[in-house]
Amino acid sequence: MPVTPPRPLLMDCDTGIDDAVALLYLCLTPAVDVRAVTTVAGNTSAERAARNTLQVLEVAGRRDVPVAAGAGTTLRGETRPEAAFVHGEGGLGGVALPAPAAAMDRRHAVDLIIDTAREAGGELEILATAPLTNLALALRKEPRLPQLVRRITVMGGAVHHPGNISPVAEANIGNDPEAAALVLSAGWDLTLVPLDVTMRENLTEAHRQRLLASGSPVGRLAGEILDFYFTFHEETALPFRGSALHDPLAAGIAVGEVVPKTAPRLAVTVDTADGAARGALVADTRGIHLGYPTQPDANAAVVLETDGTFPELLVERLFRTPAGAAR
């Protein structure tokens, strides 16, 4: 049988703890060819996120992946507050890693996104796990980008679930609503992975202890940085010591290892007004009791239910020791 080549993928992120775990997972997934990583201000600054990314890639044995920093402010020119209370000082739970051997790509993230899409000949897939400013700027610079990209998966928003930076807004959408509105309306093959599912797929302390004892540098790193993340979740969001799987679950869906149980195509917009609902994802779920009939103006597949088995798959994947990994 012919061998299916790995799927070329670019990750646009703000490398905090869950972005890092998602990136480690992608690097250890044979069906994926991580072509590039771009960073944006969110969990930490765009530049610090790029440095974090280089350090994580080095542990995963992927010094060859180009990493470029991008937008440091929103489309409106606002500076985002960093989320050290969630991800620790520096974004990786306060874990100190050696300086990366690889240098940052000199291109702006926007140019790396566009160049990578062109080089992939229409096959590139994008995983976005951060505020969508880089992608919005890329669309402004290259309006044909949706035609150059095979599909895009966005971790962001909340449909029936409460928000996490306001009662209704989730961080990746709410931290730059104008950028999110532009990206969601751009006309590409788009899948949204909201808090509705990422808060229901959880790692536990038992998982973390297995990672720490795995003998794999990737597993150990994941276990170490998750410690801070677990404390945040235990104090604010979950009734046990563990964490949500925001970005890793989106990665699993992007590469096809997680098949959603419910993912209707819906018309989705973003509230960009300066009011209490700013940054809220507005999804037309009025057909919920009819099995979500076809909506002529649908622009995204919205994942509303998964089967809960991804945490175990993720931990098992992170046990691997990739060739060339730093020990």
The catalytic site residues sit at: 246
Place of tokens 């991008």: 70
The DSSP call for residue 169 is B
Contact (CB, 8 A) for 179 and 131: yes
**Amino acid (1-letter code) at residue 147:** Q
Q: Could you give the angle at the alpha carbon of 161 between the alpha carbons of 204 and 202, nearest 5°? A: 10
Nearest-angstrom CA–CA distance, 327 and 197: 34
Distance of CA 122 to the CA centre of its chain: 21
Contact status, residue 200 vs residue 258, Cβ threshold 8 Å: no
Contact partners, residue 131, CB within 8 Å, separation at least 6: 14, 40, 41, 42, 74, 80, 171, 172, 173, 175, 176, 179, 180
Residues 23, 154: Cα–Cα separation, whole Å: 14
Q: Between β-strands 265-266 and 300-302, what pairing exists: parallel, antiparallel or unpaired?
A: antiparallel
- 239 burial type by CB count under 10 A (0-12 exposed, 13-18 middle, 19+ buried): exposed
Reported residue count of the chain is: 327
**In this structure, are residues 60 and 21 in contact, taking their beta carbons and an 8 Å threshold?**
no
The crossing angle, in degrees rounded to 10, of helices 205-212 and 310-318 is 10
- Please answer whether residues 37 and 10 qualify as being in contact, where contact means their C-beta atoms are separated by less than 8 angstroms: yes
Residues 193, 249 contacting (CB under 8 angstroms): yes
